[in-house]
Structure 1
Amino acid sequence: MQSLELWFGYLAVGLTISSFVPQVWRSIRTRSVRDLSIWTLIIFVCSSSCWLTYGILIQDVPIILTNTIIVILQITLLYLKIQYRPGKVNTRIEHVAFWVKNLEHMADFYASHFSATKGSLYTNPSKRFSSYFLSFKNSDTRIELMHNPEIGKNQNSKDPTYGLTHLALSVGSTKQVEALTEKCRISGLKVITKPRTTGDGYYESVILDPEGNCIELTA
């Protein structure tokens, strides 16, 4: 009988923990905790802490185990709620991009000289566009190498030329992309491309900074 009680106790441990893990994982992945109430999280942390204390006092292992992990998960959510609160933009450099003449040669150069890892080749035949993303072991910032045979042909126009072309900033979520794009528009900056999902799966907009440098805002 005691083993049956213990089995149900540990089953409760697993189910209770699993109810919080998806939310924590989603919040970390999307950097969005907009729909979570900070006061609910605070009450959860206090409640679980009381249960943990109770479990320690009566020496009940399932209660101790459950609430130790739950408190950690709830504190994580509370931290994310504060870190990603509305109005605070959590920006990081996602990638820098270059137009290149020889895509394979440039990708191999960064791979051989700087130990970059070359991603899958992306192509858009209708636009004659192809690109590689290069990543580095100890950094989240990447390099995007882009190629189009039409680039650089008309040097007298404002068309793109070879070399550094844009800086991509990750701002944390699709809602932040939309909000910051609108903020830039209202402040008088030029919006080149409104927020949309690109062919290679990015949700982004493109603006020009005050001196005309191209900035991608991406989730």
Structure 2
Amino acid sequence: MQLAYTCLWVRDLSRMSSFYQSNFQASASERRCELWGAVESTCLLFENGASLKLLQARADQALPAQGSFAVGAGRAADVDRLTEQLAAKGCTILAEPRLSVDGYYESVVTDPEGNPVIITI
């Protein structure tokens, strides 16, 4: 069995889709309505075949709990470079690039809505 996709609830679907496309080289599917119009979504596809589904609830609905996910950058130098680029664009760095306790070289930044994004090799 393999993971099919990861979902992330967002407040601004267009802004978040643009952020992930421009910073993580993802391509986006067309927006669509789900759950009888209560949710809009788009699916971001990454070069390696992984996908991230962004979901936006109607304005009158509460946003579900925050989530996080990891993006593989390739090498340690790529983790460093991407972390620096995102910091220069105003993203908050929650954890500078380092070797994590589970043995991954990674950093943690926030996307525009404050969701943690782990950048790893």
Q: TM-score, normalised by structure 2?
A: 0.49
Say which structure is richer in helix: 1
| More relative contact order, 1 or 2 (CA 8 Å, 6+ apart) | 2
Larger radius of gyration: 1
